[in-house]
Amino acid sequence: MGQDVIFSPFPLKSCRLRNRLGVAAMTRMSSPGESIPRKDVLEFLVRRAANGAAIVFTEGIVTDYESAQGYPRQARLLTQRQIDAWKPVVKSIQDAGSVAIAQLFHCGRVAWPEVNPAGRIIAPSAIAPKQKNPLTGKPYPVPDEMSRFDIEHVVQGFVETAKGAMAAGFDGVEIHGAHGYLITQFLSTYSNGRTDDYGGSVENRFRIARDIIRAVRPVVPGERLITFRISNWGIADMEVSLFQSREEWQEMIRLLSAEPVDVISVSTYEFDAKAFGTDKTMAGLTREVTKMPLMVCGKIFDRASCEDALRDADIVLSAKSMLLNPNWVEDVRQGKKLPSHKSAEANVAYTETPLP
Ligand SMILES: Cc1cc2nc3c(=O)[nH]c(=O)nc-3n(C[C@H](O)[C@H](O)[C@H](O)COP(=O)(O)O)c2cc1C
C-alpha cells in the first residue's frame, strides 16, 4: 500500500474527506434536562476536527420522546433549542475542514426503564436480551412487540430528527443499524421472531431499515450524506453472532446497497478478525458484494492497523483512540508507537472530567 493512502482525500458526494480517519460515534450521557450535551462534550468534537479528523460522528442522538432512549442523559435534535445548541458546533467542525454527521439512535429492547420517557419498551418481538443491564445490574425488561403504529411512529422519529440535523447544518445523518439496538433487533433472527412482513426472510427483517432510509432520504438533500452503520455484534449478549452466515450477511448488504444510502459503515469488535469461518474480514465480505464507499471500525489504533483496515474499506473510524488521544491523527501520520486502549479506559467518557 502506498505510503499516503491514510492521508489521501476521499470524495463523498459534495463532501471531500481530507484523509481517511474519522471520529466514531460516542455516547457521552452528558445531556441532562433538555437533551443538550455539555459544552465541553461539544467542544471535544470540534477539537478532534481541528486536530485533523476528516469526519466527525456525533453521539447516538435519540430519535423521539417515547421509547427511543436507552441511556441516561442522551441528546436529541428535535426542538429549536436543541438545534440552536448544535448549530455553532457543526459550523466549527466544518470550518476546521471536517465533515459533521449526526447519528440517529433508537435503543429498542436495550433500554433502561427509568430513563424511558414513555415508560414502555418496544422491540420487534417480546424477547429480552439474556444478560443483565451492566449499568443497573438488573435484567432488561421484556419489551412489547411493536405494532404497525409503533413501527410508523419510530420511522417518523428518524425523519424528525434528520430534519433537526439538517436545520442544525449537519453534512449528513447516520442511521444506527448496528450494535444490537432497535434496527439490528429487526435485522437479526436472534431478536426478531415476527411472523408478519417485518420478520422471517432477510428481506422482511430488513424492511424497517428500508422504511427508515426511504423516509429519511427526502429530508436529507441529495448532496448531503446518509450513512448506515451495521454490525454482527450487539452490546447485550455480545458473544452472539447476529447473522448466521456469510450468505446472510451479504444478502443484507445487497439489500442495503440497493437503497439510497451513500456509505455503509461496518462496525466490528476487531477489524481484522476473520468472519463466518471464512478467511475474510467483515469489511472484506462486505466489499465483495457492494460498490458503496465503506467505513470500518474496531480496534484500529496505529498506522499499521489503519493501513491494514484500509485494504478492505475506504475510511477508518476510531472511538477509543480518538477519545483518549487528542493528537491521534497526527500521531498516526508520524507512525508513532501507540496503544490499543482497553474498554475500561473509555469510561472517562461518561464522567464530567473534560477530555483533552
Ligand atoms: C464511550 C463510547 C461511547 C460509544 N457510543 C456509541 C454510540 O453512541 N454509537 C455507536 O454507534 N457506537 C458507539 N460506541 C462504539 C464505537 O463507535 C466503536 O464502534 C467501538 O468503540 C469500537 O471502536 P474502537 O476500537 O476504535 O474503540 C461507543 C464507544 C465508546 C468507547
Q: Would you state the pLDDT for residue 157?
A: 98
Query: Of 30, 264, 318, 320, which is best to mutate to test ligand 1, by the most ligand atoms within 8 angstroms of its C-beta?
Result: 320
Query: How many of the other CB atoms lie within 10 Å of CB of 167?
Result: 16
Query: Of 21, 26, 238, which is best to mutate to test ligand 1, by the most ligand atoms within 8 angstroms of its C-beta?
Result: 26
- Record the cell numbers describing residue 107, joined without a space: 435503543
CA-nearest residue for atom 22, ligand 1, is 298
1 found inside a domain: no
Q: Would you say 52 and 330 are in contact if contact means Cβ atoms under 8 Å apart?
A: yes
327 found inside a domain: yes
Angle (CA) 208-211-212 rounded to 5° is: 90
Alpha-carbon distance of 52 to 149, in angstroms, equals 44
Which sign, positive or negative, has the C-alpha torsion 329, 330, 336, 339? Answer: negative
4 found inside a domain: no
Q: Would you state the pLDDT for residue 245?
A: 98
In the set 71, 140, 181, 198, the catalytic residue is 181
Closest CA to 189 of 249, 259, 250: 249
Query: How many of the other CB atoms lie within 10 Å of CB of 6?
Result: 20
Q: Would you state the pLDDT for residue 114?
A: 86
**How far is the centre of ligand 1, averaged over its atoms, from the C-alpha of 24 (Å)?**
6
CA-nearest residue for atom 3, ligand 1, is 26
336 found inside a domain: yes
**How far is the centre of ligand 1, averaged over its atoms, from the C-alpha of 148 (Å)?**
31
Q: Would you state the pLDDT for residue 113?
A: 85
Alpha-carbon distance of 170 to 142, in angstroms, equals 36
Indicate which CATH number applies to the domain containing 243.
Answer: 3.20.20.70
- Record the cell numbers describing residue 204, joined without a space: 422482511
SS3 88: helix
Q: Give the tens place of pLDDT for each residue, 74-89.
A: 999 999 999 999 999 9
Query: Of 27, 69, 296, which is best to mutate to test ligand 1, by the most ligand atoms within 8 angstroms of its C-beta?
Result: 27
Longest CA–CA span in the chain (Å) reads 54
Q: Would you say 163 and 173 are in contact if contact means Cβ atoms under 8 Å apart?
A: no
88 found inside a domain: yes
Q: Would you state the pLDDT for residue 33?
A: 85
25: left (phi over 0), alpha (psi -120 to 50) or beta: beta
**How far is the centre of ligand 1, averaged over its atoms, from the C-alpha of 267 (Å)?**
9
Q: Would you state the pLDDT for residue 118?
A: 87
Q: Which domain holds residue 52?
A: 10-350
Q: Would you say 158 and 226 are in contact if contact means Cβ atoms under 8 Å apart?
A: no
Q: Would you state the pLDDT for residue 350?
A: 95
Which sign, positive or negative, has the C-alpha torsion 92, 94, 97, 101? Answer: positive
Kindly give the parts of the chain with pLDDT less than 70.
1-3
Query: Which contiguous run of DSSP H or E holds residue 185?
Result: helix 182-187
When the pLDDT of each residue in the chain is averaged and rounded to a whole number, the result is 96
Alpha-carbon distance of 356 to 340, in angstroms, equals 18
CA-nearest residue for atom 12, ligand 1, is 25
Q: Is 269 in the active site?
A: no
**Ligand 1: lining residues by beta carbon, under 6 Å:** 24-27, 59-60, 103, 176, 178-179, 229, 267, 297-300, 318-321, 346, 349
5 found inside a domain: no
Residue 143 identity (one-letter amino acid): P
Through-space distance between the first and last CA atoms of the chain, rounded to whole angstroms: 32
Q: Would you say 46 and 96 are in contact if contact means Cβ atoms under 8 Å apart?
A: yes
Q: What atom of ligand 1 comes closest to residue 299's alpha carbon?
A: 25
Helix 202-216 × helix 148-167 angle, to 10°:
40
318 found inside a domain: yes
- Record the cell numbers describing residue 86, joined without a space: 448544535
Q: Give the tens place of pLDDT for each residue, 158-187.
A: 999 999 999 999 999 999 999 999 999 999
Listed in sequence order, the residues at least 6 apart from 334 whose beta carbon sits closer than 8 Å to its beta carbon are none
Q: Would you state the pLDDT for residue 1?
A: 46
User: What is the number of domains present in the chain?
Assistant: 1
CA-nearest residue for atom 6, ligand 1, is 26
**How far is the centre of ligand 1, averaged over its atoms, from the C-alpha of 170 (Å)?**
20
311 found inside a domain: yes
Query: How many of the other CB atoms lie within 10 Å of CB of 280?
Result: 15
CA-nearest residue for atom 2, ligand 1, is 26
Q: What atom of ligand 1 comes closest to residue 178's alpha carbon?
A: 11
Q: Give the tens place of pLDDT for each residue, 248-290.
A: 999 999 999 999 999 999 999 999 999 999 999 999 999 999 9
